[in-house]
Amino acid sequence: KNEVEQSPQNLTAQEGEFITINCSYSVGISALHWLQQHPGGGIVSLFMLSSGKKKHGRLIATINIQEKHSSLHITASHPRDSAVYICAVRRGGNQFYFGTGTSLTVIP
């Protein structure tokens, strides 16, 4: 059983579409991270959340601690958003659990 489940696993969208990627987890956490992995393999940390919502440019991340759920939204998607998006949760202490990632392709 995976402690972190992401959906969908794969997503294809037309440029300009609004995109939502979901992350559900089954353990109590102290923080949740959204990571972006580019086609070349590089990883960028997008957000770290412990409550509420954060926004950076066209990206918005929300978390509902009670429901053990987080969403990553991309507004006005662009081909350069094509990447794998990974949800990671941190429990108390130093335990990290990672989702398997959502592969996003944005078509011009």
SS3 content of the chain, % helix, strand, coil (to 5): 5, 60, 40
Q: Looking at beta carbons only, is 42 or 108 nearer to other proteins?
A: 42
Name which position in 1, 14, 41, 67 contacts other proteins (CB under 8 A): 41
101 makes contact with other proteins (CB under 8 A)? yes
Peptide bond into 8 cis (omega under 30): yes
92 makes contact with other proteins (CB under 8 A)? no
Of residues 63, 68, 59, 70, the one with CA closest to residue 23: 70
Span interacting with other proteins, options 8-16, 20-28, 38-46, 67-75, rule CB under 8 A: 38-46
CA distances to 18, 82, 83, 105 from 9, in Å: 17, 13, 12, 11
Q: Looking at beta carbons only, is 29 or 77 nearer to other proteins?
A: 29
Query: For binding to other proteins (CB under 8 A), which residues are involved?
Result: 30-31, 33, 35, 41-45, 48, 86, 88, 90, 93-96, 98-101
